[in-house]
Structures are given as C-alpha cells and as structure tokens.
Chains A and B, each alone.
Chain A
Amino acid sequence: MIAIIKYNAGNIRSVQNALQRLGCTAVITDDHEEILNAGKVIFPGVGEAASAMKYLREKNLDTLIISLKQPVLGICLGLQLMCRHSEEGDTTCLGIFPSDVRLFPPADKVPHMGWNNLITVKGPLLNGISPDENLYFVHSYYAETGPCTTAVCEYIVPFSAAMQKDNFYATQFHPEKSAGPGEKILKNFIEL
C-alpha cells in the first residue's frame, strides 16, 4: 500500500490515477498511523511553499515526514519542501536535502513549463531513463544542485531535477504527467 500525503496542495488525484494505471493501490491520507504503516509514501504537490509548510506544521506532518523510514517520493513542491529553505515566502523547509530553493531569474519565460530532458541521471529511481527522454515540468522556483542531486535539468540555470538521500527520493518534474518515461519512474519507485 502506498500512502499519498494529503495536504493543501493540488495535483494529488493525478498521482493516485497514475499509480492506478500501474495496477497499484494508493490512499490519500493525512492520518499519521496510516502514513507510518504504508509500504511507501508519496509527498506530492503543486502550490505555495509557505502555506504548505504552515499546513504541514499544524498537522505535525513535518516531523512525521522526516522520521519516515520507508521509501518516500517527493514530487514538485514536495521536492522543494524537502530542501532547507525556499525563497518562496521566505520559508524554512524540512531540511532533508542540503540545498536551497530559489526563484528563476527572469532571463526567460517563468514558470518553466513543459517538457525538458535531464542532463545527468543516476540512482535507482531513474533507472532506465536516458538523457534524451523528456519529463513534464511546471515550476517558478528551483532547487540548487548539491550533494543529493541525482539528475540535473537546465533552464536558465542548471537545477536539481531529481534528488535522493537515503530513503528520501524526489523529482521536480511530474512523473504522473510525463507519459512513458514518467510511468517508468513511478514503476521504479513502486519496485524499490
């Protein structure tokens, strides 16, 4: 059973739909017991960092998430909230990855919206993904590259497209909206 963490961020249903297409059952929940007992946890999200962190703190989900021992996958805002700090709303985040989150400089269209390829790719989550495959991104803020970066994407600046530390995995792109390559990544996560 996979638990999808329910909080005040959109895009949660589409993660559940994508898992269902792969024959996997997932529950959307903010119940601590249910999350702790799940085989795997997905921390999705489209939204605003400060209000999302506020909600997580109110529900004590912040301390719960960092204490998890099973594989956890953060998606989009999920990845950013797993970093140290976000410029969006000057927000202190969960601090799992030692990277900071910044607003794209206005040298090109912001948000970075659409399909882009990964430059470097490593780690089990991205197994089988080649650098010429494209993933779907929608974001105005990006996580800097750092020791936990497992894939780099380039848009205005090079940034972390995927990250990993121990049991914590994360993608800036939306695997649930990224056609075949996205399904491969979700399947890799299911099989971790």
Chain B
Amino acid sequence: MLKKRIIPCLDIRDGRTVKGVNFVNIRDAGDPVELAAAYAEQGADELVFLDITATIENRKTLANLVERIAAKINIPFTVGGGINTIDDVSVMLKAGADKITINSAAVRNPHLITDIAREFGSQCVVTAIDTKFRGNGWFVHIDGGRTPTELDTLVWAKRAEELGAGEILLTSMNNDGTREGFALSITRETASKLNIPVIASGGAGKMEHFSELFSGTGCSAALAASIFHYGDIKISQLKEYLYNEGVPVRI
C-alpha cells in the first residue's frame, strides 16, 4: 500500500538553516546537511529546502548546498525559492535535487510549469500554492504571501495539474504558524478535484492534526517545519502514532 508521507521543511538563508533548532547530537544546528541527515535518520519520507532569500547571488551558494545534500542524503528532496527559469531548474537538478518547487513564477508565467515538465518530467515539478480565505473563498497569494491575487485556489490548482505539475504543495496562510491544525476543507476539496498528489502544509501543532488530515482529506503528504525543528514532535514518534491510528506510514 502506498504510504502517507511526512515531509519536514527547512528554510535556508545563505546556505544555512534559519530557524532555531532543538536537536540533540547535532554539532552545528545551522548546517542544513546535518539537519537533513538527522531527519532522514528519524524516518522523514522526503525533505523540502526553501531558500527564503532567493537572490541571484545566492544561487551559487544554494547549488553548492544542494550538491552537499545530494551526496549525503538517501531519500528524495525538493528545492525551492526564487526559481524563475528553466536554467534555474536545470542547475538545481544537476546539483542533485530530485524535484523543484515553483510558486509566484508559475502564477506569473503558467507555461513555466509545462516547459519544466517537458524538459525534465512532471515528477520533478511541485507547484506550491499559498492560499488564504478572504470573505467568500480561498484565493492564491504570491511573493511569499505578500501579494494577494483574485485567482481561485481550486481553479489554479486544476490548471497547474493540466499544465503538467506532478504535485501540489498547498499552504494555508490562515493556518500557517497557528499550530491549531491543517486547513482541512480546502485540502479536501483540492485533493478530491485533482488527479495528482497534494501535499498539505500549514498549521501542524500536535500529532492528532496529522491523523485528522490523513483520515479526512485524501491528501498524500504533510509538510511541517517548526514542530519538527523545535523537537516538539519527533518524526519517528509521529509515525508510530499514525501507524497505531491506522494511517499507512513507512516506519
């Protein structure tokens, strides 16, 4: 049976992880490679690295980091942040990333999804959508959530699938950082409307949030950052909990 995936996300700036991390047995908590190795060891199913500065000067630093991660890590990983062109994608994949994620660039130029899928295959194009509930619906936001658009989340997600996206990474801005649980309704609607896997993100605060997500939405994976970074929940502990709750996970 295909397992539900647990995906820790690491925010990167200048080749280092940004958030404070409460891990034992790591000499350098800021080194993404060591952190990634620790997560892989704990049973993470995939990893996502997001370059939150994403400037042109940082490209080389990020590519070097991706090379170091690829040499060390034996599970799939995705890289994102400021990817705007086929060349950006090519650099990351050549450095050893398995997938890339695009967000604002895809909204501004939807055919970028098709171009990447044609060149490198759909499996490596994760389209990230930041969504926010405003008045009467869930709308897509871009530029790290700063710029609202009138684009309906479900319409955009379906379009991204048709353009060739291999997965959708759906982050609810209303839930992100609250630790009060994932946005179940929009995740359920998106997952049921699409034929490609949906990764839910935003709002994880305790283990029960993951079981309600997986039992109630049809999403394929859950992404979280802070609860793993601060050591509130260990991935191995979470997966054992989910297993006992009847959620198919890799343990």
Contacts and interface: CB of A to CB of B under 8 A. Distances in A.
Interface of A: 10-11, 13-14, 17-18, 20-21, 46-48, 106, 109-117, 134, 136, 138-140, 154-155, 174, 176-180, 182-183
B123 A115 contact: no
B123 A46 contact: yes
Contacts of B179: none
B71 A17 contact: yes
Size bin of chain B's contact surface: 20 to 34
Given A17-B71, A154-B1, A183-B74, A46 B220 contact: no
Contact of B123 (A18, A21, A138): A138
B45 A114 contact: yes
Contacts of B76: 136, 138, 174, 177
27 contacts: A13-B96, A14-B96, A21-B71, A46-B123, A46-B124, A106-B195, A109-B196, A111-B197, A113-B197, A113-B220, A114-B3, A114-B45, A114-B220, A115-B3, A115-B5, A116-B1, A134-B250, A138-B76, A140-B122, A155-B2, A174-B76, A177-B74, A177-B76, A178-B74, A178-B75, A179-B40, A179-B74
A182 B196 CA distance: 25
| Top 3 A-B pairs, shortest CB-CB distance | A134-B250, A115-B250, A115-B3
A89 B211 CA distance: 40
B169 interface: no
Contact of B70 (A14, A111, A138, A180): A14
Contacts of B206: none
Contacts of A134: 3, 250
A157 to B, nearest CB: 13
A115 to B, nearest CB: 4
Interface of B: 1-5, 40, 45, 70-72, 74-76, 93-94, 96, 98, 120-124, 166-167, 194-197, 220-221, 250
Contacts, number: 84
Contact of B166 (A48, A106, A113, A182): A113
Contacts of A177: 74-76, 98
A184 B95 CA distance: 25
A17 B197 CA distance: 27
Nearest to B191: A109
B5 A114 contact: yes
Contacts of A46: 121, 123-124
B167 A113 contact: yes
Contacts of B122: 111, 140
Contacts of B5: 114-115
B250 to A, nearest CB: 4
Contacts of A17: 70-71, 96
Nearest to A112: B2
B239 to A, nearest CB: 11
Contact of B196 (A111, A139, A174, A176): A111
B223 to A, nearest CB: 13
A13 B92 CA distance: 12
Contacts of B220: 109, 113-114
